[in-house]
Amino acid sequence: MEVAVVWFRKDLRTVDHRPLRRAVECGLPVVGVYVFDPADYQKTRYGFKKTERFRAAFIMESVRDLRRELNDLNIPLVVRFGDPGEVFDALQEKMRISRLFFHEEIGSEEQTAERAVRQVLTAKVTIDHGHNLYDPDDLPFEPYAVPDTFSQFRKRIEKDGALLRPPLKAPQPLGKKLNVEEGDLPSLQELGLEELKQPLRFRGGMTEGLKRLQHYLFESDQLRVYKETRNGMLEEDDSSKFSPWLAHGCLSPRMVMEEVQCYEAERVKNDSTYWLYFELLWRDYFHLVHRRYGDDLFQASGLRDRVPPWERNDEHEAAWMEGRTGYPLVDASMRELAATGFTSNRARQNVASFWTKNLGLDWRVGASWFESLLIDYDVASNYGNWLYQAGVGNDALQFRAFNVVKQAKDYDPDGAFLHHWLPELSRVKPPKLFAPYEMTDEDQQKAGIVIGKDYPKPIVPLFDSVEKQKVKFLKAMK
Ligand code: FAD
Q: Would residue 176 count as lying in a domain?
A: no
Instruction: Single out the residue of 283, 403, 425 nearest to residue 350, CA to CA.
Output: 403
**Residue 227, C-beta contacts closer than 8 angstroms, at least 6 positions apart:** 270, 271, 272, 275
Residue 125's DSSP bridge partners are: 100
Q: 3-class SS at 253?
A: helix
Residues 121 and 145 in one domain: no
Residues 351 and 229 in one domain: no
pLDDT score recorded for residue 397 = 67
Q: Would residue 114 count as lying in a domain?
A: yes
Q: Would residue 194 count as lying in a domain?
A: no
Say whether pTM exceeds 0.85: yes
Continuous H helices in 40-103: 53-72, 84-94
Q: Would residue 303 count as lying in a domain?
A: no
Residues 244 and 320 in one domain: no
Res. 297: pLDDT tops 90: yes
Residues 113 and 145 in one domain: no
Mutate to test the pocket of ligand 1, among 279, 280, 284, 400 (most ligand atoms within 8 A of CB): 279
Ligand 1: residue whose CA is nearest its atom 21: 283
Whichever domain contains 222, its CATH number is 1.25.40.80
**Residue 402, C-beta contacts closer than 8 angstroms, at least 6 positions apart:** 349, 350, 353, 354, 357
Q: In sequence order, what DSSP letters do the residues of 108-174 get, joined into one string?
A: HHHHHHHHHHHHH--SEEEEE--SSSS-GGGSSS-GGG--SSHHHHHHHHHHH----PPPPPPPPPP
Ligand 1 atom having least distance to the Cα of 349: 36
Overall number of domains in the chain: 3
Residues 136 and 244 in one domain: yes
Neighbours of 1 (CB within 10 A): 12
Residues 330 and 417 in one domain: yes
Residues 392 and 320 in one domain: yes
Residues 342-366: tens digit of each pLDDT: 999 999 999 999 999 999 999 999 9
CB 393 within 8 A of CB 382: no
Residues 119 and 2 in one domain: yes
First-to-last C-alpha distance (Å) of the chain: 64
Pairwise CA distance, residues 23 & 34, whole Å: 15
Choose between 80 and 397: higher pLDDT. Answer: 80
Neighbours of 11 (CB within 10 A): 25
Q: Would residue 425 count as lying in a domain?
A: yes
User: How does DSSP classify residue 355?
Assistant: I
Residue 99's DSSP bridge partners are: 4, 124
Q: Would residue 193 count as lying in a domain?
A: no
Q: 3-class SS at 406?
A: helix
Consecutive H or E run containing 469:
helix 462-477
Whichever domain contains 424, its CATH number is 1.10.579.10
Distance 442 CA to ligand 1 centre (A): 42
Neighbours of 381 (CB within 10 A): 20
Segments forming the whole domain that contains residue 410 = 314-476
Q: Percentage of residues in the chain with pLDDT exceeding 90?
A: 97
Residue 431: asked if its preceding bond is cis (omega within 30°), the reply is yes
Q: Would residue 191 count as lying in a domain?
A: no
Pairwise CA distance, residues 194 & 341, whole Å: 14
pLDDT score recorded for residue 1 = 87
Residues 11 and 43 in one domain: yes
- From 111, 130, 149, give the residue that closes a domain: 130
Measured from CB, residues less than 6 Å from any atom of ligand 1 are 230, 239-243, 246-247, 276, 279-280, 282-283, 286, 344-345, 348-349, 352, 370, 374, 376-378, 381-382, 385-386, 389
Residue 6's DSSP bridge partners are: 32, 101
Residues 329-338: tens digit of each pLDDT: 999 999 999 9
Residues 216 and 364 in one domain: no
What's the maximum distance between 2 C-alpha atoms anywhere in the chain? 80
Residues 74 and 141 in one domain: no
Residues 250 and 225 in one domain: yes
Res. 268: pLDDT tops 90: yes
**Residue 275, C-beta contacts closer than 8 angstroms, at least 6 positions apart:** 226, 227, 230
Q: Would residue 305 count as lying in a domain?
A: no
Residues 443-454: tens digit of each pLDDT: 999 999 999 999
Whichever domain contains 70, its CATH number is 3.40.50.620
